[in-house]
Amino acid sequence: MARIRRKRYHPPGTQPGTLVAHAEAQGTPVRVRAFRYDAGRCEERDVPAAELPSLSTPESGVLWIDVEGLSDPAVVRVIGERFGFHTLALEDVLNVPQRPKVEWYDEHLLVVLREIRHPEPAEQVSFFLGDRVVVSFQERPGDCFDPVRDRLRMGKGRIRSEGADFLLYALCDLVLDAFFPTLERLGDEVEEMEERVLVSPVPESFLAIRRLKRKLLEVRHAVWPARDALNLLLIEEHALIRPGTKVFFRDCYDHTIQLMDMVETFREMASGLVDEYMSAVSNRMNEIMKVLTVMATIFIPLTFIAGVYGMNFDTKASPYNMPELTWAYGYPALMLFMAAVAGGMLYYFRRKRWI
């Protein structure tokens, strides 16, 4: 069974704010895309590493920098320096996985969430919100942000006419919405597992239940702190979050409540599967023992009869030493008698509903 993903730490004594990529991130290519948009236009382009120092806060509109891959700490450092992000916040971007959280700074804020798309492993997604700037960091290529990108390109909805805080809401909303299909698949697996346990309680089913419970626990660890983080966005005042946008973040908060209800329901069902598995195994063992007991009970008198007639008393020494051994039909008569004993016992067990 796969181990739960562990958080990466720097060696003891490392200076705070040290930016180092962890081993799993090595080899993942880094891609930086920039979306500069306002109500009337949207420009999208890939940003080479050499052009990162030239990035700056736009005078109007919003700039979204989307970074895929964390294998190059220099990219994180340059972007952080260009927009004044705190080094401890940048360190949290690279030291994954962090607990979902919101951290406030003077000129920006950091939002850390977990993205889970079954059956892929969990991924940390970090967002920086600044003045007219949003920067997102992802561990690997592939995300759930395509609907936002399409809305920016096509000018659909209100996203291009809103500020950077609305873009942050839209991205957070997509991360949370990605949990719902994952939980639906896990719920289907729970129901299928319940049928498998009742029909065939084999050890493989128990291992599958364990894996399912671990997956649900991982989702819970991602959703529970995200609820607290979004609640902090609602109750704390910050110049970067407009009061009108808090209404939308409240919708994200409601999504986390729904997700927690689903997670807890499926976890209770998965925990009940363990009891059902143990009960099914016990019932199956009882059925096996009942069959073996009936067979043993039937053969006890048959063994007694065979043992009596296996003592080989000499009929010539005395006429009372098993005279039936000399009968012409002694052997068939004995077989019929034993069959009658076995049949009578089976009939009695059936009448008592023991079999």
How far is it, in rounded angstroms, from Cα 194 to Cα 268? 13
Report the range out of 166-180, 280-294, 338-352 with the highest average pLDDT. 166-180
> What pLDDT score was predicted for residue 37?
92
pLDDT at 213 over 80: yes
Give the mean pLDDT of 95-104: 88
- Residue 62 neighbours by CB under 8 Å, 6+ apart: 36, 37, 38, 132, 133, 134, 163, 164, 167
How far is it, in rounded angstroms, from Cα 79 to Cα 19? 13
CATH of 23-280, one of 3.30.460.20, 1.10.3720.10, 3.30.565.10, 3.20.20.100: 3.30.460.20
For residue 138, give the amino acid letter.
Q
60, 62, 67, 73: CA torsion to nearest 10: 50
Give the mean pLDDT of 121-143: 89
| Residues 150-169 pLDDT 10s | 999 988 888 998 999 999 99
**Arithmetic mean of pLDDT over the chain:** 85
Residue 136 · residue 186 · CB < 8 Å: no
Residue 109 · residue 103 · CB < 8 Å: yes
Where do you find CATH 3.30.460.20 in the chain? Answer: 23-280
CATH topology assigned to domain 284-351: Methane Monooxygenase Hydroxylase; Chain G, domain 1 (1.20.58)
pLDDT at 315 over 90: no
| Residues 230-284 pLDDT 10s | 998 888 888 889 988 999 999 999 999 999 999 999 888 888 888 888 888 888 8
Where do you find CATH 1.20.58 in the chain? Answer: 284-351
